[in-house]
Structure 1
């Protein structure tokens, strides 16, 4: 066969296939042009070639289990099987030898590469085998055969402690230890009569009254507005705009709450705290040698109610910190009964502070720091609170509580260090001119969409006139 005759035969066959495809497309609906418009030029690692065809292998990895005396096997699904692509193509032209050498270098390059297939599109693949077929009767034409396997990212297993669970376990241990040490301190004071129980009632009344008062403070009520849909400016916050740096790149939060819903939530929160306070008052009035655990549980219930009543973990920490600073100071005499009353007052104050510290640690585990500096500040504030109570427990010889507080401190430090390590730090920026927040966000972060975050952090007089020097996230 002559070269011209062979070319004519190929063109005739191609025309016949095209006519057949057009006829089939007309019968099935659609147009033949729409299919060919979807095809992409084939290439591997940027080196283009002409694709002749491909075989794709897909499915699941099944481990077949066959058992004696059982006719049907059991196929255990082990996950999706590796996707394999056997692609054939060719290179043609006067420079086909140079093209072949470049393709060989591409195929011998280390690591994964990008395959662009006419129908499968872009795939990250690993090349298992590459063959080049040359024939003397097909000069200027080299046939290529590829065997690809779709490749994923190289991921190594990592081990990390569940720091939130560690804090919860440490708080539970602290509650049990504080209850045990409270019982051992006040057990001998009940023989002094009703005056000692009256001191417990009075101390509890002072503490839970503080709890009820702080839940309804003005800042707590203003924070409820943050959950309403809409944008109320940088001073009030918004539920539909991501809070500053809480989740970088996070989409806007959606909220369907109304003012009536928020009023109901606030009312329920105050009611829960009042109910917990009533339980503590009842337990204090009935306090005796057999009900110390009930009294301790009621104190922890008040702290837990305050934790749940705050609209955000940051508010929970602020409220519980004030409860953890409780120092009862009712005057007592130096008599035997007065000494018993003083012991009861001191023991109740310790129990209440430790319940508040435990709930504050839970709030810290739920808090999302805005930066590495923010995480460090929360860590320092909370560990200072725990350290002061560690000193009290150590001076009083309360070994169980001392050990529980030390464990809680370690869990809090580990948790905040872990979550703050992946956050950007705060940096001081100095500009030569006052620029708008949009310009600064684009210049600093290459993202003008972070202008609201920048305004929330810097708090300028006007977003169009940012100060010359300010502190903001470094990245």
Structure 2
């Protein structure tokens, strides 16, 4: 095949033309030359690759040359870059920057065009991405503040019959027992001292709703911190988030009983909301192994937050509702952003009963993942992964 056979028919955006030759600026670097007094040799700062330019002495010819000419002119005049088929250089994304037309009476059935093109690109700008961790942390802090403010506004025993204070102390005692039971390792004693302080001074705290909100709210936070991070924190906070279901409802027979019910609901909301808010904070420190784990956590926290939002809506507490809504969105966004980095759960079948080492190497080319397979599937002995049975493994990410 000769060099002429390798030439491609010239066109731009589908409009055909012929060329007599071309002059193209196809290589080189764009530099900024820095010259300094007393220095003979300049410093050429390399800025980027030089923009490629293409120039053709083109023509169209034939009985229908006017139609072909007009198609080419329209293509050059149309907005945006298009495909330039360069006979010598191949297909290039380019935009026409000049089209000079020449027609002569002694050259019938023919039009000459001087075409110039510049390579085309996209108008790219630096992109930004939201700091999901920071947004979630801010939402957590705002939700805690709103939750405690809501409690301080709703809870009151001042100027009320004395039994209301004692009834509230009983509810607080139930709450602290629930929180205490959720923490297996109380660490250096900070949590135990905070727990003891509330128990010993509960009758005093109920006279100061703001102080009580901070004491109880901080106690829930400390319970989550004492559990560690990840699934352990979720497990510790889960019963606290469900607190109140065991409490007897208060009969709304008198105005005083209605206040008692309001106080009890305020304590329940403060404690459960604090636990759910800390669940949301905990996802920042959670290393999700699989997408399924991430989405299960997202849905569980979302369910708790939906319940909390329903309570706030029924109480017509717009500020608390809004901060919980923002927290729900931030939690969902954070977990969704993490999920592409996690593995998928997949099901597979071992062709024959084989050691977990063989299964791991067959699936991952990594025998070190044998224990992972055996543990995930509850294999009685790692030397015998049952053949012909479905097992659950992680995608290799």
In the superposition, the TM-score normalised over structure 1's length comes to 0.54
Deviations 1:229-273 (A, max 9, x none): xxxxxxxxxxxxxxxxxxxxxxxxxxxxxxxxxxxxx4525x222
How many residues align? The count is 275
- What is the RMSD computed on CA atoms of the aligned residues? 2.7
Report the counterpart of residue 138 of structure 2 in structure 1. Answer: 169
Cα distance change, pair 347–423 in 1 and its aligned pair in 2 (3 A): same
| Distance in 2 between residues matched to 1:455 and 1:348, nearest whole Å | 45
- 1:307 matched to 2:237? The reply is no
Deviations 1:27-54 (A, max 9, x none): xxxxxxxxxxxxxxxxxxxxxxxxxxxx
Cα distance change, pair 157–426 in 1 and its aligned pair in 2 (3 A): farther
Report the counterpart of residue 95 of structure 2 in structure 1. Answer: none
The alpha carbon displacement at 1:275 in A equals 1.7
Counterparts of 1:83-98 in structure 2, within 5 Å, are: none
2:391 aligns to what SS in structure 1? strand
Report the counterpart of residue 281 of structure 1 in structure 2. Answer: 199
For the 8 Å contact 1:197–1:285, the answer to whether it is kept is yes
| Distance in 2 between residues matched to 1:267 and 1:179, nearest whole Å | 24
For the 8 Å contact 2:361–2:367, the answer to whether it is kept is yes
The alpha carbon displacement at 1:65 in A equals 12
For the 8 Å contact 1:379–1:413, the answer to whether it is kept is yes
The alpha carbon displacement at 1:419 in A equals 1.2
For the 8 Å contact 2:169–2:206, the answer to whether it is kept is no
Cα distance change, pair 167–279 in 1 and its aligned pair in 2 (3 A): farther
In the superposition, the TM-score normalised over structure 2's length comes to 0.64
For the 8 Å contact 1:431–1:469, the answer to whether it is kept is yes
| Distance in 2 between residues matched to 1:425 and 1:183, nearest whole Å | 45
Which runs of 4 or more aligned residues in structure 1 lie more than 4 Å from their structure 2 counterparts after TM superposition? 63-66
Counterparts of 1:37-436 in structure 2, within 5 Å, are: 159-187=128-156, 189-216=157-184, 266-268=185-187, 271-281=189-199, 284-287=202-205, 291-327=208-244, 329-330=247-248, 332-333=250-251, 334-436=253-355
In structure 1, the gaps of 5 or more residues are 1-62, 67-80, 83-107, 109-155, 217-265
The alpha carbon displacement at 1:370 in A equals 0.7
2:158 aligns to what SS in structure 1? helix
Deviations 1:429-465 (A, max 9, x none): 0222122111111111122222222222222111111
1:192 aligns to what SS in structure 2? coil
1:191 aligns to what SS in structure 2? coil
1:471 aligns to what SS in structure 2? strand
Cα distance change, pair 379–415 in 1 and its aligned pair in 2 (3 A): same
2:284 aligns to what SS in structure 1? helix
For the 8 Å contact 1:324–1:352, the answer to whether it is kept is yes
